Amino acid sequence: MKQLTLTEFELEYETGAYVLDFRQAIEFVDGFIPASYYMNARFLKSHIRGEMIHPTETIILIASNHAISDIHRELEKLGYSNIIGWLKGGFETWKEADKKIDIAISIEADELMMDMKYDDPQVIDIRSAEAFDAMHLENAENIPVENLVFNLDDLPKDGIFYLYDEDGELSLSIISALKNQGLHNYYHITGGFNALKQNEASMA
């Protein structure tokens, strides 16, 4: 695995390599390379990760230099052997070159609560059925993540849907995957269910 120049990175990107972005969530939502997957520990450990990003795929990375060795080892443990390298200078190199970027719409828990006072936003809880039954945001619909990502043809293309999991990490990864499939109407709730509870959102 090597440090890639922008030209080298872009060549791999344009020929179909998967971009895995290991930055913090707050950085990712503000801007990322289109078709990137937001990566975090929960997504890496989930069984759906291998279905969405098959180990045989060619991989290129967005990550800080100090984290590359650990990320490389973790990906190799998961069976990813075709990791080409990481972009020198990270996302800033891409941005400074005025390349196309995408964003993930993310709202704070208190913003959603304010919307709920005057509207009926469509909220999807992607946690397990057990966690949902124990407690969930009032009027949220429980769609386990497997049902969401493996039934893309059945998902509505219109309207806005807010996704949450426990802490907002896995849901942001799923949103990035949905955007890869052309679904841009799924929004992120910062901090997930934990943030909603702390803001005393209405629970059922």
Neighbours of 140 (CB within 10 A): 23
- Tens-place pLDDT, residues 101-159: 999 999 999 988 887 777 778 999 999 999 999 999 988 999 988 888 888 777 777 88
Domains and CATH numbers, the chain: 2-96 (3.40.250.10), 106-198 (3.40.250.10)
Confidence (pLDDT) at 201: 67
- Please state, as a whole number, how many other Cβ atoms lie within 10 Å of the Cβ of residue 171: 31
Q: What is the value of pTM for the model shown? A: 0.93
- Alpha-carbon distance of 74 to 83, in angstroms, equals 12
Distance from the first to the final alpha carbon of the chain: 49
Tell me how far CA of residue 21 lies from CA of 87, 116, 201, in angstroms.
11, 32, 31
Summarised one tens digit per residue, pLDDT across range 21-78 is 999 999 999 999 999 999 999 999 998 999 899 999 999 999 999 999 999 999 999 9
Contacts of 16 (CB under 8 A, 6+ apart): 58
State whether residue 33 is helix, strand or coil: coil
Rounded Cα gap, residues 77 and 73, in angstroms: 6
